[in-house]
Amino acid sequence: MANIIDGNKIAQDIRNEVRQRALELKEQQEIIPGLAVVLVGEDPASQVYVGRKAKACAEVGFISREYKLPAATDEEKLLKIIHKLNKDKSIHGILVQLPLPKHISTENVIAAIDPNKDVDGFHPYNVGGLVTGTPQFVPCTPRGIMEMLARTGIELAGKEAVVVGRSNIVGKPIALLLLAQNATVTMCHSKTKDLPTVTGRADVLIAAIGKPHMIKANMVKEGAVVIDVGVNRLENGKLAGDVAFDEVAAKASYITPVPGGVGPMTIAMLMQNTLDAALASE
C-alpha cells in the first residue's frame, strides 16, 4: 500500500513558514504583502476560490483586496483596474480569477499585469522564464506539486516522469519543472497512442486530465509515485481525482489523495508567490 502524501499538512507547514516570514518583513521593513484578486462575473466555483484566497491571506497576515465586477464589465474597464494595481505600492500580487467572460481577451488581461506582480505566473514573461530555467513566478499548482515531491524526499534526477495533460496552467509548466530537476519527461494528451504503455513507464506519474478515475492500476508501474491533480465533481456531489485511488494506491509507492492532495498546495503556493513578490519589491 502506497504512502499517502498529505497535502493538507504540507500546505499548512508552508502557510506557517509564510506567516513567520511575513511577520519578520513587517517588523524589519514595515512591508505587509498585499494581494489583489479580481473576479469578473458570478461563477459560483470562482467565488469559492476567491473566498478561499482571501481567507488564506488573513491567515498569513497579508492584506487582501477583492474586486468583484459584474459579468458585463468591458475589457477596457478591467485593464484600467489592472494598470492602477500595477502602480499601487501596497499591492505586490495581482491575480485575475479565470475563466473570464467570453467578451474579454484573457491574453490581453494577463499581458497587462506587471510581470513583477504576476503571482499566478501566467504572464508571457514568466512563462518564458520557466522555459529558459530562470523563473521569477511559477504557476501555483505546478509549484505546489514540486514542493510536495521535494518535501516528501522524492528524487527526480534520471527518473522517468510522465505528465498526462498539456494545459498551460498545469501540464506544460509541471513538465518543464520536472525537466529542470533532470527527470526524463514525457508529455501525454488526448491524441497519445497507447496511453497505458507510456504511463506504465513512469517512475513519477502526474495526472492532470479532468476525467474522474481515468488512471487505473494497469496503467501504473509497481512502486511509482502518483500525483493526482484532477478535481472532478461526481453526480453524487463528491469530489474525485483523475486516478482510481484504491487500486492505484495498492501498486504505487506514494500517492496524493483527492481531496487533500494537490488542491491545498495551490493556495499555499499563491501565498508563497505573493510573499516572494513583496520580498523582491524592495
Q: Which stretch binds ligand NDP (CB under 6 A): 71-79, 153-161, 189-197, 217-225?
A: 189-197
- Among 117, 118, 120, 272, which one carries the catalytic annotation? 120
Q: Does 230 bind ligand NDP (CB under 6 A)?
A: yes
53 is catalytic: yes
* Member of 12, 86, 167, 281 binding ligand NDP (CB under 6 A): 167
Query: Judged by CB under 6 A, how many residues of this single chain contact ligand NDP?
Result: 25
* Member of 36, 113, 209, 227 binding ligand NDP (CB under 6 A): 209
97 is catalytic: yes
* Member of 127, 176, 229, 252 binding ligand NDP (CB under 6 A): 229
Q: Does 170 bind ligand NDP (CB under 6 A)?
A: yes
Q: Does 171 bind ligand NDP (CB under 6 A)?
A: yes
Site for ligand NDP in 127-146 (CB under 6 A): 141
Q: Does 240 bind ligand NDP (CB under 6 A)?
A: no
Q: Does 189 bind ligand NDP (CB under 6 A)?
A: yes
Asked if 194 and 162 touch (Cβ cutoff 8 Å), the reply is no
Q: Does 5 bind ligand NDP (CB under 6 A)?
A: no
43 is catalytic: no
Q: Does 173 bind ligand NDP (CB under 6 A)?
A: no
Q: Does 192 bind ligand NDP (CB under 6 A)?
A: yes
Q: Does 215 bind ligand NDP (CB under 6 A)?
A: no
